[in-house]
Amino acid sequence: MGIGGGIALIVIGAILSFGVSDAIEGVDLTVVGYICMGAGVVALILAIVLNSQRSHTSHTAVVEQRTTPNAPAAPAAAPVQQVQPVQPVQPVQPVQQQQPPAAPPAV
């Protein structure tokens, strides 16, 4: 319900208790208003307590590390082979476009 719901119940209860003078047969609006105000106070206190608990939580990260004191040694790695360097590739020369033949001069 939250803080807003608690305040709303208190306001509705106060209006029913102190502001309404109408009578409904079989229903005492003053008592209904007091009940709403009481429920609103309880809801408001609960919301404040839960929000304060929520803001005071702490989070810890647990990192598990497994160590074995008598673990066998890892096998030796294979010898690394020498790799011959790669020869650089010669850049490609751009192709020059041919010019169309010039038109003969007009006489």
Q: What is the pLDDT of residues 7-60, one digit of tens each?
A: 999 999 999 999 988 888 888 899 999 999 999 999 999 999 988 887 777 778
Asked if the structure places residue 44 within a domain, the reply is yes
Give dist(CA 16, CA 36) in Å, integer.
9
Give the pLDDT mean for 86-107: 75
Instruction: Evaluate if residue 2 carries a pLDDT over 80.
Output: yes
pLDDT for res 59 = 76
Asked if the structure places residue 95 within a domain, the reply is no
Q: 20 versus 104: which is more confidently predicted?
A: 20
Residue pointed to by tokens 């608690």: 6
Give dist(CA 14, CA 3) in Å, integer.
17
Segment 45-68, tens digit of pLDDT: 999 998 888 777 777 888 888 777
pLDDT for res 101 = 72
Query: What's the structural domain count of the chain?
Result: 1
Residues 6, 44: contact at Cβ < 8 Å? Answer: yes
Asked if the structure places residue 26 within a domain, the reply is yes
Q: Which pair of tokens denotes residue 32?
A: 């209904």
Domain that holds residue 41: 2-55
Asked if the structure places residue 101 within a domain, the reply is no
- Minimal CA–CA distance to 40: which of 20, 67, 58, 14? 14
Single-letter code of the amino acid located at 27: V
Asked if the structure places residue 9 within a domain, the reply is yes
Asked if the structure places residue 106 within a domain, the reply is no
Long-range contacts of the stretch 21-25 (C-beta < 8 A, 24+): none
Asked if the structure places residue 8 within a domain, the reply is yes
Asked if the structure places residue 29 within a domain, the reply is yes
Residues 40, 10: contact at Cβ < 8 Å? Answer: yes
Given pLDDT bands bounded at 50, 70 and 90, which one contains residue 90? confident
